[in-house]
């Protein structure tokens, strides 16, 4: 897998912005929680299940290319 500091902004920012935007629009904690839970399934889950294609050595760190 890629080092955490390479992928954290790309996976955490969309997941943090969507509940904030939902809260801004609805002003309702319950709706925000429901929408956030639904979006978590479709946004964060696919990133955690990507398949590895090949392993590459980069600056003495092992990186894996994703399919």
pLDDT tens for residues 8-67? 666 677 778 888 999 999 999 999 999 888 877 776 555 555 555 555 555 555 555 544
Alpha-carbon span 4 to 8, nearest angstrom: 6
Q: Is the Cβ–Cβ distance between 34 and 19 less than 8 Å?
A: no
Task: Write down the pLDDT at residue 67.
Answer: 45
Alpha-carbon span 18 to 66, nearest angstrom: 25
Alpha-carbon span 63 to 50, nearest angstrom: 14
Counting the structural domains of the chain, the total is 1
63 DSSP β-pair partners: 56
43: containing domain:
4-66
CB half-sphere exposure, 55, CA atoms < 13 A = 5
């Amino acid at each position: 897998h890629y080092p955490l500091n390479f992928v954290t902004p790309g996976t955490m920012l969309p997941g943090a912005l969507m509940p904030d935007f939902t809260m801004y629009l609805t002003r309702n904690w319950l709706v925000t929680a429901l929408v956030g839970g639904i979006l978590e399934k479709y946004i964060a889950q696919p990133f955690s299940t990507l398949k590895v294609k090949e392993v590459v050595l980069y600056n003495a760190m092992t990186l894996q290319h994703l399919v």
